Structure 1
Amino acid sequence: MSNAQKALVMAAGIFLAIALITIAVVMFISAQEATKNAQENFSGIQRELSDTSFTVYDGTIVSGSQVVNALRKFNQQKQFGILVITGRNKTTTTSGTTTKISGGTWYNGVVDEDTGVVSYDSTTSSTKPSNYSDLSEALKQDQKTYINPAGKFNASIIRDSSNVIHGLKFIQQ
């Protein structure tokens, strides 16, 4: 082979190598973007699945036995509280046409209902606030914290500003 032919073969080889490298880089970039999108979708699905155990209580009416079951189910969950307002420990305040229901007893933790911030967590703290009780007190009929299994409760979810669920609220009808 002459020098000119060798130079052409070498130039064609270099051109093919550059073309293959360019194709590999383009494929890597597009695969990286697809991976990022898949990871975001997976995170969304994972968040939805983790919230499904709470959606049962979002704006529904549940029985007292379901409230007790929720207390048992979420008993040791960190950064989470359950507020139960029964007929015995309910406080109502009327201001004009608005009636605010307050009082009740917290279980597992104490959460600010407006911000969703956990101020007491039974899994990490030892000093209990006055409006906190243990599950055993909810089962004693002579206590004001007693939860009647046949009672009906309006259930709602307490979220923080990031839409993370930090608590449940049950108000007896």
Structure 2
Amino acid sequence: MNNASSALKVAAGIFLTIALITIVVILFISAQEATKTAQNNFSDIQTELSQASYTVYDGTTISGSQVTNALRKFKDKDQFGIQVETGKTRKAGHWYGNALDITSSASEDKYGSVISPGNRQGDLKLTMDEASDQYVNPSGKFKASIVKDSSNVVRGLLFGQF
């Protein structure tokens, strides 16, 4: 009887150990899935926050002074371009930063002019010179829009005076 009792105690101990290991593995797998979901959510939030500085330019009307502020703010951003079409450069604006190929996405931009695929590089200093065709009137009204690539990452801004 003593041997049978010892055998039952050992068997119960092994059974409880296996049950405990099974519970730990199940909890670990559940935690792993929750961690992956949290990482994906965090990545989405991080992307939204990184692009939040551009949402102010998405289909809005802004002043010329806001255009020059945007030029200064984003001029050194890598793989980023800004096109400004003033009243003097309609349909053939100047690019500041990288010139983007936006003709493939649409032949007509959001403010009604046909986008030309030129690579006219602008000079930020000339946006303040009234004699220049790059002059941005601080009180002028511009329609702003953003340019996204196929990965939905903002690559540029378009400003068209109306």
Q: Normalization by structure 1: what TM-score?
A: 0.83
Residues of 1 paired with 2:21 and 2:69: CA distance?
61
Equivalent residues in 2 for 1:1-173 (5 A)? 2-90=2-90, 102-114=91-103, 131-173=120-162
- 1:140: Cα distance to partner? 1.3
Q: Secondary structure at the match of 1:56?
A: helix
Aligned residues: 150
Identity %, equivalent residues: 57
Higher strand fraction: Structure 1 or Structure 2?
Answer: 1
Superposed displacement of residue 115, structure 1: 5.1
Q: Deviations over 1:30-63 (max 9, x none)?
A: 0000001111111111111111100000000000
- How far the C-alpha of 1:130 sits from its partner, in A, is 5.2
Amino acid at match of 2:14: I
1-structure distance, mates of 2:80, 2:158:
11
Q: Deviations over 1:110-152 (max 9, x none)?
A: 1111458xxxxxxxxxxxx850122112111111011110100
Question: Deviation above 3 Å: which 4+ runs of structure 1?
Answer: none
Specify the alignment match of 1:94 in structure 2.
none
Give the number of the structure whose residues are more often helix, by fraction: 2
Give the 3 Å change call, closer, same or farther, for CA 130–8 of structure 1 in structure 2.
closer
Give 1:70's aligned amino acid. A
SS in 2 for 1:110: coil
Distance 1:26 1:74 in 2: 49
Q: Any conservation in 1 of the 2:99–2:119 contact (CA below 8 Å)?
A: no
**Partner Cα separation in structure 2 for residue 112 and residue 136 of structure 1:** 24
1:60–1:156: 8 Å Cα contact kept in structure 2?
Answer: yes
Code of the aligned partner of 1:73: K
Measure, in 2, the Cα distance between the counterparts of 1:9 and 1:78: 69
Q: The residue matched to 1:47 in structure 2 has which SS? A: helix
Contact residue 81 and residue 98 of structure 2 kept, 8 A: yes
Deviation sequence 1:64-96 (CA, Å, 0-9, x none): 000000001111110000000000111xxxxxx
Structure 2 unpaired stretches of 5+: 106-117
